[in-house]
Chains A and B, each alone.
Chain A
């Protein structure tokens, strides 16, 4: 790690992650060290099965390493309870998924306000902040629409607004343009980059798409559970 771990919102140090499949231990990560710095813009690329999704789950605090250290907001997650880890996730990370993961039958406004429920923010304040975020992603006119009433690009923008509403240090985006046409994909990517540039939120994108990866300031290439190259 080149930066001091305390200054980095997320850092993994020599982490491994193995899964048990029919009693056999299958390694998905085999010793990865990576720091996502404040304001960073990095792309994690690699073929299927290279471990990039596993790495993203670890960076997002959704999973814990089999060995090594994961620091989230400067705290070692190995000592945290599931509840404390959830709180830390809520504070530090914003997730953007390929398939949006919006709650069906729930308005854009309430989808965006969802993370604030778990932060104990009152409803009125939640709605105010959610509205603000929806305006930020250009969907002020769509607040009462449900996901099935929105286009794919709009749904992803709602997901981005949801990721931002807690004012996280890091946005983790897993193939954010994977389910979008090129125009909508471009708009979403531009939005993420603008947020990175203007709000200083670190952006880590997991992608197959070389063109998407090329736009990042840093690229981390994964292969067989290891970082093959960092540029």
Chain B
């Protein structure tokens, strides 16, 4: 019997008992759909984090006191503006160095208020990070040098305080001090769990005065290219270490952040896929069970096929192909449902979902493999049936 004919015979057999075939497929459909959806969500989360990290800017080096490690206790920063000057000398260009001193503050305008992350920054921030303005202008060097009380609002802050009008030129109050709004950021969304639209940028010098601290929480440097990042990081740390012998400093690149987060999310995706894989396995066991029942029920048919010339291999192949058809058709339907569910999840919820072809190919391959693995025992049993015994069964 040719393979084409074997496929046709197997398909005819499945068609002959549609309800049972459909119910048998259900386990595989659910398993494959779960694999596709969960891998899509895992991959989507990973993509989004990557996008957010990449979206910060390019060739960035983040320098912080202490150790950059998940779960590490925060360190009180010994960094001061003089350190920034020292780092600028290493980097060679003030425009490539950004700093922050951060404080959570309630920002008010008239009777409206909004809790915001107030960042004391240099005028260089938009040159180091990707930040674009929707209105007005950003801080200038003169604003920083003279410690002017000017502020650039994140879009959410602007929307909360000035819902109906352009905030540029208006007054806001933060930490009891009045500031003039000179610009509004374009909406940016979240970066690594931080709402970037709830930020307010003010000159670092003003921030240090208003918050009554000489502290700088961290600094970021834009390297001229990716190749020089590591070398530059070492130089900066060496300079800072020299100035603050008692403090340890860490320089971390976007690639390192991506590496750590990517590993975590990769494991998460793997775990999700494995859980979904278990349901696929259960579906496979269901296929095997039904195929065994089918062999028993169709013993007479097997006997007849053997009587008219079917070889044991022909019968075995027929039942194996039936199992493979069940799981691959089930897999196909599961993939379609999985894609549909992923798109729905992505459209209707904040959970990101990215459909990847490798996950689909894997799910399909696994479902075919499940058919082969779980179809072998019933197929062997069918192929080995004694035709005389099989014919007597009817």
Contact = CB atoms under 8 A, between A and B. Distances in A.
A166 interface: yes
Nearest to B308: A115
B180 to A, nearest CB: 84
B309 A115 contact: yes
Contacts, number: 69
B218 to A, nearest CB: 74
A119 B309 contact: yes
Interface stretch (A34-42, A68-76, A96-104): A96-104
Chain A contact residues (Cβ within 8 angstroms of B): what range? 20 to 34
Contact of A118 (B12, B301, B310): B310
- Among B5, B301, B312, B313, chain A packs the most CB atoms within 10 A around the CB of B5
A86 B388 contact: no
B391 interface: yes
Contact of B313 (A83, A90, A104, A162): A83
A120 B2 contact: yes
A86 B9 contact: no
Contact of B308 (A63, A82, A83, A90): A90
B387 interface: yes
A105 B16 contact: yes
B385 to A, nearest CB: 11
Interface in B311-334: 311-314
Contacts of A86: 306, 309-312, 314
A99 B311 CA distance: 23
6 contacts: A83-B312, A83-B313, A86-B311, A90-B308, A95-B308, A118-B308
Given A62-B391, A63-B388, A103-B301, A89 B312 contact: no
Contacts of B311: 82-83, 86-87, 118
Given A103-B304, A118-B314, A87 B391 contact: no
Q: Which 7 A-B pairs have the closest CB atoms?
A: A90-B309, A118-B309, A115-B308, A83-B311, A105-B16, A86-B311, A101-B304
B78 interface: no
B300 interface: yes
Contacts of A105: 16
A91 B309 CA distance: 8
B11 to A, nearest CB: 13
Interface string B356-394: 000000000000000000000000000000111001001
Given A62-B391, A87-B309, A117-B1, 9 more contacts: A60-B307, A62-B307, A62-B388, A82-B312, A90-B308, A99-B394, A114-B304, A118-B314, A120-B1
Nearest to B12: A106
Interface of B: 1-2, 5, 8-9, 12, 16, 300-301, 303-314, 386-388, 391, 394
Q: Give chain B's interface secondary structure class.
A: helix
A89 B2 contact: no
A145 interface: no
- Among A60, A86, A101, A105, chain B packs the most CB atoms within 10 A around the CB of A86
Nearest to B15: A105
Nearest to A91: B309
- Among A60, A89, A104, A162, chain B packs the most CB atoms within 10 A around the CB of A89
A57 interface: yes
Contacts of A95: 307-308
Nearest to B5: A117
A188 B312 CA distance: 32
Nearest to A94: B308
A166 B309 contact: yes
Contacts of A99: 394
Interface string A113-141: 01101111001000000000000000000
Interface in A49-81: 57, 60, 62-63
A72 to B, nearest CB: 12
Nearest to A165: B308
A151 B388 CA distance: 26
A85 B145 CA distance: 99
Contact of B300 (A101, A106, A119): A101
Interface string A154-178: 0000000010001000000000000
A120 B9 CA distance: 13
A87 B308 CA distance: 9
Contacts of B309: 86-87, 89-91, 115, 118-119, 166
- Among A82, A87, A91, A104, chain B packs the most CB atoms within 10 A around the CB of A82
B312 to A, nearest CB: 5
Contacts of A162: 308
Given A117-B5, A117-B9, A118-B1, A97 B391 contact: yes
Contact of B306 (A62, A97, A117, A123): A62
Nearest to A82: B312
Contacts of B2: 120
A117 B310 CA distance: 8
Contacts of A117: 1, 5, 9
B6 to A, nearest CB: 9
A89 B5 CA distance: 20
Contacts of B308: 89-90, 95, 114-115, 118, 162, 166
A63 B390 CA distance: 12
A144 B8 CA distance: 18
A62 B387 contact: yes
A97 B304 CA distance: 10
